[in-house]
Amino acid sequence: MKRLIKAKVPGRHPDGWGLYLVVEPVGSARWAFMYRSRATGKRREMGLGSTEALGLAEARLAARDARELLAEGKDPITERKTLIVVQTFGEYADTWFKTKKEPDLKSKQAKARAKYALEHHCKPIRDLPLNKVDTAAMLKVLEPIWTASPEAARKARGLIEQVLDAAKVSNYRTGENPAVWRGQLSTQLSKARPAVKHHASMSREDLPAFMLALRAREATAARALEFQVLTAARPGEAIAASWDEFDLEAKLWTVPASKMKGGRVHRVPLCDRAVAIIKEMDTFREGAFVFPGAKSGKPLSGPVFERLMDRMKVTGVTPHGFRSTFRDWAGEVSHYSRELAETALSHVVGDATERAYARGDALEKRRKMMADWAEFCGHE
């Protein structure tokens, strides 16, 4: 049966005792229970759910329950609610994360954080049946961390909302989603949404001296961090930069959507020093990544910038915070517009109407801005 699901052979494939795997011509697959109505004598088909929502073992259990209802003289479709195999929140959340959520997360850190939230923060509801997770259960999850760890609370609530939405589509739940903020939890918890924790940044006054010290270092990590600061990129984007993303003749770095937080292609104009860094790395090119790590075929590891700054005795600053330093420079020192600075940071600018008219990314205007930024850093 698993082979038929994978092969997606169209048709009705019997598993036995009334259970069928139904594969549509478009490739979607679902379970069905076929039986003859005692009242009319006609054959009836009762859908049990998609193969994504229900495994073979669960489908067989549902078919068994349907046969028992028939033996009692009851119609399974009429008694459908009793056939739903109710999983616990933990069981369903683990399967949902592995098959639906994890593949969409770009970094190991993001995957680990989401998995931790579902396993640790959601402990109070993991053993509850999906259809028993209500507002009271949500409060048991959120109240202990709502003020102590607001960012963790925000992420946990969002993940639970997604899990329960998916469970409703799979017919494991009905009614309103108790994890929704507006109209649900907003009446029970603080009106203010949990605050987003800002990344600690370096003051713009201290940046030139730091960049000078950074440039004096010869390590690959130093070149990667220098490149990140000069391009105002996120640490992960700089670390994962690959050779095929660069056009050095055009002084352009094109980051594919798959590597971007917002899921959109981002073009970055390169200042002269950024180009020089890429050319320097090219002299000992190893594999696909511009900034190779210790393991062959892998880029630098995630916390490499933090370790570098520790060695440089730089405290109270995060690598991501250099983006805030850039934003501070753009808003307080430079003459460039807020929109241009936000575009450089790959942030969404304006509402939907404004974005519809502003289709370009102001590449040439940003090229001058990034050159001025590099000059401020003491690199041009």
63: Cα within 13 Å, side-chain hemisphere:
21
**Amino acid 190: pLDDT:** 67
d(CA 173, CA 92): 12
pLDDT tens digits, one per residue of 183-213: 678 778 865 444 444 568 899 999 999 999 9
Q: Which residues pair with 254 in a beta bridge?
A: 267
In the chain, % of residues over pLDDT 90: 53
Q: How far is CA 317 from CA 199, 207, 244, 310, 321, in A?
A: 8, 11, 31, 10, 7
Give 264-277 pLDDT, tens digit per residue.
899 999 999 999 99
Confidence at residue 195, expressed as pLDDT on a 0 to 100 scale:
47
The answer to whether the Cα torsion of 354, 355, 359, 360 is positive or negative is positive
Residue whose pair of structure tokens reads 């850093």 in the numeric block: 377
- Looking at residue 86, its pLDDT comes to 66
Distance, CA of 372 to CA of 329 (rounded, Å) = 10
pLDDT at 109: 75
Structure confidence at residue 38 (pLDDT) = 87
Alpha carbon distances (Å) from 87 to 55, 62, 159: 12, 13, 17
Count CA atoms closer than 13 A to 27's CA, side-chain side: 2
Q: What is the pLDDT of residue 198?
A: 55
Give the pair of three-digit tokens for residue 191. 């009106």
Residues of the chain with pLDDT under 70: 1-2, 53, 81-86, 183, 190-199, 349-360, 379-380
DSSP 46: E
Measured CA to CA, the distance from residue 196 to residue 142 in angstroms comes to 16
C-alpha neighbours within 13 Å on the C-beta side of residue 348: 12
* Strand 11-16, strand 29-36: pairing: unpaired
The two three-digit tokens of residue 46, written as one number: 């009762």
Q: State whether residue 38 is helix, strand or coil.
A: coil
Which domains, from first to last, does the chain contain?
A: 2-83 (3.30.160.390), 89-187 (1.10.150.130), 207-376 (1.10.443)
Taken as a whole, the chain contains a residue count of: 380
Helices (H), the chain: 2-7, 56-71, 89-96, 108-116, 123-126, 135-142, 150-169, 207-215, 220-231, 235-239, 272-282, 304-311, 321-332, 338-344, 352-357, 363-376
- Check: CB of residue 293 under 8 Å from CB of residue 174: no
Count of alpha carbons within 13 Å of 193, Cβ hemisphere only?
11
Rounded to the nearest 10°, the torsion over CA 168, 169, 170, 174 is 30
Please name the residues in contact with 6: beta carbons below 8 A apart, sequence gap of 6 or more. Answer: none
Strands 19-23, 11-16: pairing is antiparallel
- Show the tokens assigned to 262: 């917002």
Task: Return d(Cα 322, Cα 164) in angstroms, integer.
Answer: 37
- In whole angstroms, what is the distance from residue 206 CA to residue 183 CA? 46
